[in-house]
Structure 1
Amino acid sequence: MPAEARPYHHGNLRAALLDAAERSVEKSGTEQLSLRELARVVGVSHAAPRAHFTDRQALLDALAERGFGRLGAQLKVARDGAGPGFGERLRAVIAGFIAFANSRPVLLDLMFSAKSYGDKAQLPAAAETLAVVYDLIGDGVAEGALAPGDPERYGLLLYSWAQGLASLIASGGLQPEVADSLVSDAVSTFIRGNAAG
């Protein structure tokens, strides 16, 4: 259909653009992402995406926000489905993070490199997702499993470690089945190294 004949309106254009953007990013990376191309894929005029995203960066930020929302939901399910012990909950959350990272590696890179990452006003889902681990660390301190300390510092260490492990798996440098035992070992080591006196 020629561009001039494409409709401007769409039933749920924002969601359709984000779906198409996520597929494009996972297939070709963020550098190839174009609002004009997404409009073509979705079947609307090239001007239609501007009603939802002022520019490419706004689309990338929205995609990162959506990714953080999904990751946060996955981490909560992992935490809530784990056993009652702090170590069990922490293992489940870290394993949930790694599973998400392995299923959407490019999206995860985008999420943690988003220009507005850390800006709670711009990416509130990022703060909510990080809070899942920070709150869990707080629980560990309250339960006496961890020595008192800064939950954000503990959390950032865990996220950094988990993201590195996920990168090794994604690059083929580590088999996923090895990661499971490494998660258990690392969480045990983390708890022992930061145990309350």
Structure 2
Amino acid sequence: MAERTYHHGNLRAALIDAGLQLLEEGGIEAVGIRSAARVTGVSHAAPARYFPTATSFLAAVAAVGYERLAAALAEAVNSAEDALSAFRAAGLAYVAFARREPNTFRALTHPSLADKSQHPDLLSASNRAFDVLRAAVVRAQADGHVVSAAPAALALTAWSTVHGISALIVDDQLAAKGYADDPDDLAEEVLATLFLGLRPTEG
């Protein structure tokens, strides 16, 4: 990784950018304050003003990851032709994000960041991503495609499903279970099963 010299501007943002680069190239284990300081070209002590702990730095990096996820979900939803397509598109966009940025995806739910209340920016970013999915649920309910129930609970059901299949795909766990299908086809099948379970009961 090439080092770059930091001169003037937003040091916090520069350090986060370095953290994202470290994450992409080396995974969670590579994301460290000292490493980010070296990449940014500042002293090891300089980041302490913004990130007093390694966890606070990882949380800031993960917050950007959630912002990227929220943007990807929103773009997919806004490009859909109707409410049901938007709900489906959100799920597929989630899986696509995980496949495109596997290390970022893993950082989003890293155990050290489980208590997001300790990291307001991370909590806010994660809520924005979840709110895109919840809004898609509300829209699908309004059009009669999804059962009438608490939108947050249905969004959690959908999130759990797409996160689970994403994790299995990213961590190469499917072949061992006999699922050698194309990941995109498998994601489509899983989402079709999810939607079948969320449809309103007729009659």
Scaled by the length of structure 2, what TM-score is found? 0.81
Which of 15, 18, 21 pairs up with 1:20? Answer: 18
Name the stretch that deviates more: 33-42 or 93-102: 33-42
Cα separation, 2, equivalents of 1:81 and 1:119: 34
For residue 149 of structure 1, what is the aligned residue in structure 2?
149
Name the stretch that deviates more: 50-59 or 22-31: 22-31
Structure 1 gap segments, 5+ residues each: 1-6
Equivalent residues of 1:39, 1:48 under 8 A apart: yes
Q: Which amino acid aligns with 1:169?
A: I
- Aligned Cα root-mean-square deviation (Å): 2.6
Cα separation, 2, equivalents of 1:39 and 1:170: 29
For residue 193 of structure 2, what is the aligned residue in structure 1?
189
- What secondary structure, in the 3-state scheme, does the structure 2 residue paired with 1:31 have? helix
Cα separation, 2, equivalents of 1:184 and 1:28: 30
Q: Which amino acid aligns with 1:195?
A: R
For residue 116 of structure 1, what is the aligned residue in structure 2?
115
1:129 aligns with 2:133: no
1:62-94 deviation digits (Å, cap 9, x = unpaired): 11111111110110001111222x321122111
1:49 positional shift: 1.1
User: Identity across aligned pairs (percent)?
Assistant: 31
1:44 aligns with 2:42: yes
1:135-179 deviation digits (Å, cap 9, x = unpaired): 111111111111111222222222222122222322344699723
1:121-143 deviation digits (Å, cap 9, x = unpaired): 45201111101111111111111
Distance 1:8 1:103, change over 3 A: closer
Residues 1-197 of structure 1 correspond to what in structure 2 (within 5 A)? 10-84=8-82, 86-113=83-110, 114-117=113-116, 121-122=120-121, 123-172=123-172, 173=174, 178-197=182-201
1:24 positional shift: 1.5
Equivalent residues of 1:101, 1:108 under 8 A apart: yes
Structure 2 gap segments, 5+ residues each: none
Distance 1:27 1:8, change over 3 A: closer
Cα separation, 1, equivalents of 2:180 and 2:95: 9
Scaled by the length of structure 1, what TM-score is found? 0.84
Count of residues in Structure 1 that have an aligned counterpart in Structure 2: 191
Cα separation, 1, equivalents of 2:105 and 2:117: 14
For residue 4 of structure 1, what is the aligned residue in structure 2?
none
